[in-house]
Amino acid sequence: MGPDRRTLSLGKRSVLVAVAVVGAITVLAAPGTAFAAPEPSPSPSASPSKSRTPVSNKDLEAVREKLERLYHSAAVATDEYNAAEEAADKQSAQIVALAKKIVQGQERLAELKKRAGAAAAAQYRSGGLPDEAKLMLSDDPQEFLEGAGRVLQGERATKGLLGEMTRTQQDLEQYAKDASAQWQKLEAGRKAKAAAQKKIEKQIKAAEQLESRLEVEEKERLAELEKEAAHKAQTAWLDSGILDDIKGEASEEGRKAVEYATEQLGKPYEWGAEGPKTYDCSGLTSQAWASAGQGIPRTSQEQWKQLDRIRIEDMRPGDLIIYNADASHVAMYIGDGAIIHAPRPGRTVTVAGAGSMPILGVVRPDAG
């Protein structure tokens, strides 16, 4: 959505967190384990209704699938929002740079006009006589010729001055056109960002309303269904034997990125957020790699497009796993078949099974 080599030893500075992660991953690799983040504690005010027929598991499964679709749509919109925000930052910077060029160009043009005016005044003071008349009036032909040479040089300098004025004016016109184009893009991006925000809020609100209609016991059963679905996917992934082939060691940058991501465990998901208190999926992965000194694209879709792709068998801790056919989610691989990611609204940054969601592919930020 819009923001996740080594054996899970994450450095002396994160010993306590590392121990927790190692424990979580040990559980992740074991059969019969659930991978989804735990549901929040039930609200004491929500009590089962005696006059209401309990929702069947089949109906709850339909609810789970619908929630998954709603949050997926919100994730896609979050990527759109983040992309528009990133583009707006770049366009704003370009507008500022163009504004500086326009000011500099205007100052240069004023200087050139001043020099051109001085040259015109000098010509006026000389009387503006043609060379033939000056030659006839001169008592010293040699002096005239020397003066004529200087005049010729002056004329050439004047022509050069006028040419530079013309080029400066043309540059100013181009800068103004470029600035106007950037303003138009900025305005279009603002509208796209607003539309994406509206879509995100609509999808999340629909999901929350859907969940709010469930009783406490039904929410607990729904959470179990989510865990079972994640566990089933992870088990199938592990049963393929893929983990036997994944033996890559983390790079120094990868270790730093994993350490950063680990330190964010338990922090809430928030769409459009890049930390330090809240994150979306790509906000977490981009900030983790920024902490390692490696800038990467802000969105999961651009991370998929721009970063070097590698085979799943070759991945190492710190690599990014891109999920879903539309690259709408991203997580960071941390080793032993596990990931750290910011799942969705209502969840926190957590450890999960790498195969608990449909994998699109893997990218490596520090492939070079």
Instruction: Just list the catalytic residues.
Output: 281, 329, 341
User: Phi first, then psi: what are they for 337, rounded to 5°?
Assistant: 75, 20
Residue 285: CB atoms within 10 A of its CB come to 34
Q: CA nearest 282: which of 253, 247, 246, 321?
A: 321
Report in angstroms the alpha-carbon separations of 354 from 89, 200, 250, 256, 303: 33, 26, 16, 20, 18
DSSP for 271-300 reads TT-BSSS-B-HHHHHHHHHHHTT----SSH
Closest CA to 322 of 337, 303, 296, 308: 303
337: left (phi over 0), alpha (psi -120 to 50) or beta: left
Alpha-carbon span 27 to 336, nearest angstrom: 11
Beta bridge partners of 320: 332, 363
SS3 268: strand
